[in-house]
Amino acid sequence: MSVPASALTNHLQRTVPDIALSTDDAATLYALIDARPDLSQARKDPTGQNSNVFFVSVPPSDDSSTRAPRTYVLKQPTNAASAQALDHESSNLGLIRAASTTFPFAVPEFLGTAGGLRVMTLLPGVNGVRALAACGSTEERMQLVHAFGAVLAALHAFRGGPRPPRVMHRVAPAVRAAIPAIGDEAYRARTQRRLDLCLAVLDRLDTDPVWTAAPFSRLRFCHGDYMLANVMFEKTAQGGGWRCSGVLDLGDAGYGDARSDLMTGIECLEFQNIS
């Protein structure tokens, strides 16, 4: 389930006792945070479709200035659908991390669940939307776009992923149902043509050879929601460009038609006026 870039700014900084966080004591951290009434008062995503996202800083217990506070990501589901998406993400992250030693970037580590909250490691860098806004020239923007494409190529080359083939096919009915609602939002005039195209592609799934012909030669490991907001970037050591530091929001990842990731990636770039 996608977390909009705007939701990433709605964070909560809390001071809690220093804990050497591990899977075993993640529940302790959760209990400390869940007991604070102001966590439940945080502003929720108005669509009701995504999880609430919090950033929690854990400072050093000895007040040492030599060690920076550790920051973790907490995700709080808002309904049954977002809870299911978080369960998928937690499962996928463990399997992806166990199966892959070749990604040139990080994926979050799922650390534990308690009180309905999920805790994960925070990836370094800034998301691609912010990185694009920080670019000072056309050349720098295009270098970032090339890096964005290279990440997708690495994902599509991944083997040993967490779900069996045809996972995207099972997602299609939910996407089909959601598209008309998207068309009612503020950007309908701008996106209606692309939404109609998405529906046309979905309607072809049952007859498209990529799904019906063995050995599924075009199936690739897909992100499932590939957009700039879900890719983290850092400046290169030379300061002349960007490198991917991590990939987020892998709850919908699985084997599917590689064109689905291309479609969402291109749509995202077009929305940012990159063509």
**CA-based torsion, 201, 128, 233, 134: positive or negative:** positive
pLDDT at 22: 40
pLDDT at 147: 92
Instruction: Give the mean pLDDT of 44-51.
Output: 50
pLDDT at 2: 31
Domains annotated for the chain, with CATH where assigned, are: 5-120 (no CATH), 126-271 (3.90.1200.10)
What confidence tens digit (pLDDT) does each residue in 142-168 have? Answer: 999 999 999 998 888 887 655 544 455
Cβ-proximal residues to 94 (8 Å cutoff; 6+ apart), any chain: 110
Q: Any idea how long the chain is?
A: 275
Instruction: Give the mean pLDDT of 21-37.
Output: 45
Residue 233 has pLDDT above 90, yes or no: yes
Instruction: Give the mean pLDDT of 108-136.
Output: 85
Instruction: Give the mean pLDDT of 53-58.
Output: 70
Say if pTM beats, i.e. exceeds, 0.75: no
- Average pLDDT across the chain, whole number: 69
3-state secondary structure 9-50: HCCCCCECCCCCCCCCCHHHHHHHHHCCHHHHCCCCCCCCCC
Residue 236 has pLDDT above 80, yes or no: yes
pLDDT above 70 as % of the chain: 53
Instruction: Give the mean pLDDT of 122-137.
Output: 90
pLDDT at 275: 57
Spatial contact of 34 and 101, defined as CB atoms under 8 Å apart: no
pLDDT at 231: 95
pLDDT at 268: 85
Residue 221 has pLDDT above 80, yes or no: yes
pLDDT at 180: 65
Instruction: Give the mean pLDDT of 39-66.
Output: 55
Residue 14 has pLDDT above 50, yes or no: no
Residue 132 has pLDDT above 70, yes or no: yes
What confidence tens digit (pLDDT) does each residue in 179-209 have? Answer: 666 555 555 666 677 677 777 766 666 666 6
23: Cα separation from own chain's centroid: 21
pLDDT at 156: 86
Could you tell me the pLDDT band of residue 16, with boundaries at 50, 70 and 90? very low
pLDDT at 128: 92
